[in-house]
Chains A and B, each alone.
Chain A
Amino acid sequence: MAEWNAYYQNEDEEGEQEEGEQSGGDYKITGRDSLVFLVDASKEMFIKGEDGEPSNFDMTMQVVRTVYTSKIISSDRDLVALVFYGTEQSKNPRNSFKHVYVYHDLNEPGAKRVQEVDALRGEKGAKLAAETIGSGETSLGDALWCCANLYSDIKLRLSHKRLMIFTCRDEPHGGDSVKDRQARTKASDLKETGVVIDLMHLMKPGGFNISLFFCDIVSPPEDESEMGLQLQPSDKLEDLQKRVRAKELKKRTLARLNLCLGEGINVAVGIYATAVAARKPGSIKLYRETNEPVRSKTRTFHTQTGSLLLPSEIKKAQYYGGKEIVMERDEVDAIKKFDDPGLFLIGFKPMEKLKLLHHIRPAVFLYPEEDEVKGSSCLFSALLKKCSERNVFALCRFISRRNYPPRFVALLPQNEELGEGKVQITPPGFNVIYLPFADDLRTLDPPQFPSASQTQVDKMKEIVSKLRFKYRSEGFENPVIQQHFRNLEALALDMMAPEEIEDLIMPKVDQIDQRLGPLVQEFKDLVYPAYYNPESKPPAKRKTADTGGGAEKKPKVELTEDELKAHVQNGTLAKLTVPVLKDACKQFGVRTTGTKKQELIDALIARLGS
Chain B
Amino acid sequence: LASAASVVLCMDVGLTMSNSAPGEESSFELAKKVIQKFVQRQVFSETKIELALVLFGTDSTDNPLSQDGQYQNIRVHRHLMIPDCELLIEIENQVQPESQQGDCILSPEHVSLIPCRNLTLQAEGKKYDCLNIALLTDLNTQTNEESLEVIIKNLTQSGITVQFFLPFPVEEDKEGKGLSREQKKNKELVKEMMLSLDVEDGLDEIHTFRNAIEELCMFKRVERRPVAWPCQLTIGSSLSIRIVGYKAVTDEKLKKMWITVDAQSHQKDDVKRETVYCLDDDNETEVQKDDIIQGFRYGSDIVPFSKVDQEQMKYKHDGKCFAVLGFTKQSTIRRNQFMGSQIIKIFAARDDEHAGVALSALIRALNELQMVAIVRYAFNRISNPQVGAAFPCIKQDSECLMYIQLPFMEDLRQFTFPSLENKKFTPSDAQLSAVDSLIDSMMLVEEDENGEQRDLFKPHRIPNPAFQRHFQCLHHRAVSPGTPLPPIEPWLKAALDRPEVITERCQDPLDVLKRKFPLTEVEKKKKLKTSAQIFGKESEESEAKKVKEDEAEEYNLADIAEGSVTSVRIRGRAGRLNNPRRWARFCQQLTHRIEQLLSNKNTQYYMKSITCIQAFREQSVKLGNAEHYIATFKVFWELLVQDEVEGSSVSKAEANQFLVAEEKKEEAAPAPVEDTGDVDDL
Contact = CB atoms under 8 A, between A and B. Distances in A.
Given A360-B249, A362-B340, A438 B460 contact: yes
Contact of A488 (B247, B260, B279, B303): B303
Contacts of A464: 327, 362, 365-366, 369, 371
Given A312-B599, A317-B261, A327 B84 contact: no
Contact of B410 (A2, A477, A509, A598): A477
A451 B399 contact: yes
Contacts of B424: 377-378
A357 B248 contact: yes
Interface string B333-353: 111111111110101111111
Interface string A573-584: 011000000000
B517 A468 contact: no
Nearest to B552: A28
A572 B81 contact: yes
Contacts of A333: 561-562
A2 B588 CA distance: 12
A373 B459 contact: no
A526 B471 CA distance: 55
A218 B514 CA distance: 51
A379 B517 contact: yes
A263 interface: yes
Interface in A369-389: 370-387
A473 interface: yes
B411 A278 contact: yes
B325 interface: yes
B397 A321 contact: no
Contact of A397 (B48, B473, B496, B499): B496
A206 interface: no
Nearest to A427: B417
B587 to A, nearest CB: 11
B470 A335 contact: yes
Which of B339, B340, B354, B358 is packed against the most chain A CB atoms within 10 Å? Answer: B358
B609 to A, nearest CB: 13
Give the contact-size bracket for chain A: 35 or more
A491 to B, nearest CB: 5
Interface stretch (B17-25, B176-184, B442-450, B652-660): B442-450
A240 interface: no
A359 interface: yes
A512 B510 contact: no
B200 interface: no
A571 B81 contact: yes
Contacts of A25: 553-554
A320 B263 contact: no
A444 B226 contact: yes
Nearest to A352: B445
A529 B358 CA distance: 11
Contacts of B464: 405, 437-440
A380 B431 CA distance: 11
Interface stretch (A46-54, A83-91, A181-189, A288-296): A288-296
Interface in A480-494: 480-484, 487-489, 491-492
A598 B255 contact: yes
B596 A312 contact: yes
A178 interface: no
A438 B323 contact: no
Contacts of A347: 442-444, 456-457, 498-499, 502, 506
B2 interface: no
Interface in B523-570: 524, 547-548, 550-557, 559-563
A376 to B, nearest CB: 7
Contacts of A371: 522
Interface stretch (A191-199, A208-216, A299-307): A299-307
A460 B325 CA distance: 15
B463 interface: yes
A296 B277 contact: yes
Interface in B248-270: 248-253, 255-264, 266, 268-270
A294 B278 contact: yes
A331 interface: yes
Nearest to A302: B270
A121 B134 CA distance: 86
Nearest to A475: B409
A321 B585 contact: no
Interface stretch (A124-132, A135-143, A266-274): A266-274
Given A287-B292, A382-B427, A395-B457, A277 B249 contact: no
B413 to A, nearest CB: 5
B473 A348 contact: no
Given A72-B298, A275-B407, A438-B463, A520 B236 contact: yes
A39 interface: no
A497 B677 CA distance: 69
Nearest to A476: B387
B222 interface: yes
A471 B333 contact: yes
Contact of A297 (B278, B353, B414, B488): B278
B328 interface: yes
B280 A292 contact: yes
B60 to A, nearest CB: 25
Given A109-B299, A387-B439, A440-B250, A315 B266 contact: yes
Contacts of B524: 372
B262 A274 contact: no
A452 B358 contact: yes
Given A24-B553, A317-B259, A513 B236 contact: yes
Nearest to B456: A347
Contacts of A373: 519-522
A544 to B, nearest CB: 10
Contacts of B467: 439
B518 A320 contact: no
Given A403-B562, A574-B48, A2 B554 contact: yes
A588 to B, nearest CB: 18
A356 B402 contact: yes
A538 B296 CA distance: 45
Nearest to A284: B295
Interface stretch (A4-12, A93-101, A231-239): A4-12
Interface stretch (B103-111, B113-121, B238-246, B620-628): B238-246
A251 B415 contact: yes
A469 B329 CA distance: 8
A160 B64 CA distance: 86
A134 interface: no
B256 A598 contact: yes
Contact of B347 (A292, A337, A447): A447
B554 A3 contact: yes
B563 A330 contact: yes
B315 A484 contact: yes
Contact of A336 (B250, B369, B466): B466
A307 to B, nearest CB: 11
A362 B349 contact: no
A382 B432 contact: yes
Given A110-B298, A336-B466, A478-B409, A363 B521 contact: no
Nearest to A606: B269
Given A336-B466, A380-B420, A456-B357, A487 B305 contact: yes
Contacts of B589: 3-4
Contacts of A321: 43-44, 46, 83-88, 478
B86 A450 contact: no
B195 interface: no
Closest 6 pairs (CB-CB, A-B): A449-B356, A405-B466, A312-B599, A110-B300, A323-B85, A321-B84
23 contacts: A25-B553, A28-B553, A247-B410, A262-B506, A272-B413, A281-B297, A288-B293, A314-B261, A347-B442, A348-B439, A359-B404, A382-B434, A414-B336, A428-B417, A438-B460, A438-B462, A438-B464, A450-B357, A468-B371, A507-B236, A510-B237, A520-B239, A523-B361
Given A11-B260, A505-B385, 9 more contacts: A1-B585, A25-B554, A296-B277, A301-B274, A303-B272, A317-B260, A319-B259, A428-B420, A513-B237
